[in-house]
Structure 1
Amino acid sequence: MYPKISDQLFMSIDSGDEKAAGIEYKSRVADLVEDSMLIEIPLQEGTGTTKRLYVGDELSVYFISEGGTKNYFNTYVLGFKEDVIRMVRIRKPDADMITTVQRRSFFRVNAELELAVKTESMTRFVARTDDVGGGGLSFFCDANYAVKEGEALSCWILVPYKNGNLEHVPFKGEVVRVNKVENGRLHSMVKFTSISDMERQKLIRYCFERQMDFRNR
């Protein structure tokens, strides 16, 4: 499903600057053509400041369709069009490159990512994830870092993208299940209880890239 003319788009600009990449902008679809979209100049959420884009800028975008479904895709700036207002031309993604995500319906992918954990008792440790998704994750840790079902955790996860960028994604979660596995380690499943839409989008983008890698093997 593609956005329609006048639909709002919410986006972040892929950047090596972690702070800049975390800023959310909004725009509106002005026109759709065969292989591109024309959008209004993006405005920063909260301040209304315009964002100057350049040809080649990579964008992580989502739009909301009927029923509150969020639809995510990645694209880049192709050029500009001068009309009554200046518009930005971005590449129209292939239909199968748009990830449709409904509330409580996030797919997960196997991934060994670095996870920093802080427990309710202020114990801190670094673990490796087993899988990751937009709604939660699971991780392995040594038994001496005993986490309990129902425990609240404060974490960040290091997310690498195919273009070489790295993102630190913070979230709060709740342990929903803990199992002992080989070598006495613990396997803990966590659901997100507090994560911003933009941070969740970063994880969904990573999952989508991983899914495409699996399909192409």
Structure 2
Amino acid sequence: MIYVGAKLTLALAQDDFRDRQPFTTEIVDIHDQTLHIEYPVNPETGKPEFLFTGTECIAKFLGKDEAVYTFRTEVTGRGNEQAPVLHMSYPGDDQLMKIQRRKFLRVPAELDVSVRDSHQTFSPFTTKTVDLSGGGLAIETGHTPFIQKGSIIHVWLVLPFKSNEYHYINARAKVVRIFYDTDENETVEYASLQFTDIIEQDQQEIIRYCFEKQLEKRGRKYNIRNN
């Protein structure tokens, strides 16, 4: 079930994804029920996080079946495989807990979004979102030939709230669909993206933004009916 290359989100066991932002990392090897992972990165500082041997964590990852799984783990040691790695215990596939994926509210949203490919197969570019939800977004592709169904890309966008606060989103997403529309005799290409690696707090901010936009829409309808 778990596999080399899987992106892990780690939270200290006492935090359980509630008190502070979790760490992000990637599995580089699996040996005898032990996960070898890159040093976790603290999203607040962008720097590797030092975890002592014996530190207990809760891990989450996206399975190849597109379901999210969680399990308890512990730092068991360190190693060096071309780069320093942490060794984490793995309880086995039969101890994984599957998290029921939620259906998110999706709203129309025209926001600037920066798109980058971690493998540098295309140059980073800026485009517009079409819609947004806690589970993903749709963007105009500009007919970039390298964005195809199944591609994994990084997206950056800013959420502007009515309170004049801004929240910056940095996430990894998978292209799940390419579709087209004709606008003034011009065919426009779009891509539907599903988040595969996003910080829980960022996802909650997206959900908050979507509900705010939904309430604005209802308010406009109410004003029209009463005018």
TM-score (norm. length: structure 1) = 0.52
Deviation of 1:103 after TM superposition, in Å, equals 2.7
What residue in structure 1 maps to residue 156 of structure 2? 156
Deviation of 1:180 after TM superposition, in Å, equals 2.6
What residue in structure 2 maps to residue 40 of structure 1? none
Q: Summarize deviations over 1:73-130 as a string: whole Å, max 9, x none.
A: xxxxxxxxxxxxxxxxxxxxxxxxxxxxx73311110010111001241421111111
1:208 aligns to 2:206 (yes or no): no
1:113 aligns to 2:90 (yes or no): no
Structure 1 gap segments, 5+ residues each: 1-7, 13-21, 24-45, 47-101
Q: Within 2, Cα distance between the matches of 1:143 and 1:161?
A: 30
Q: Within 2, Cα distance between the matches of 1:188 and 1:9?
A: 30
Matches within 5 A, 1:95-174: 103-119=101-117, 120=119, 121-144=121-144, 146-174=146-174
- Matched-pair contact (CA < 8 Å) for 1:153–1:174: yes
Deviation of 1:146 after TM superposition, in Å, equals 4.4
- Matched-pair contact (CA < 8 Å) for 2:122–2:146: no
Q: CA RMSD for the aligned pairs?
A: 2.4
Give the match's secondary structure for 2:103: coil
Q: Within 2, Cα distance between the matches of 1:135 and 1:146?
A: 23
Name the % identity. 30
What residue in structure 2 maps to residue 85 of structure 1? none
Q: Within 2, Cα distance between the matches of 1:145 and 1:118?
A: 14
Mean Cα displacement is larger for which, 114-123 or 190-199? 114-123
Deviation of 1:184 after TM superposition, in Å, equals 3.2
Equivalenced residue count is 124
- Matched-pair contact (CA < 8 Å) for 1:159–1:206: yes
Q: Within 1, Cα distance between the matches of 2:102 and 2:140?
A: 23
What residue in structure 1 maps to residue 224 of structure 2? none
Give the residue type in structure 1 aligned to 2:207.
Answer: I
Give the residue type in structure 1 aligned to 2:164.
Answer: G
- Matched-pair contact (CA < 8 Å) for 2:141–2:147: no
Q: Summarize deviations over 1:47-82 as a string: whole Å, max 9, x none.
A: xxxxxxxxxxxxxxxxxxxxxxxxxxxxxxxxxxxx
Mean Cα displacement is larger for which, 162-171 or 140-149? 140-149
TM-score (norm. length: structure 2) = 0.50
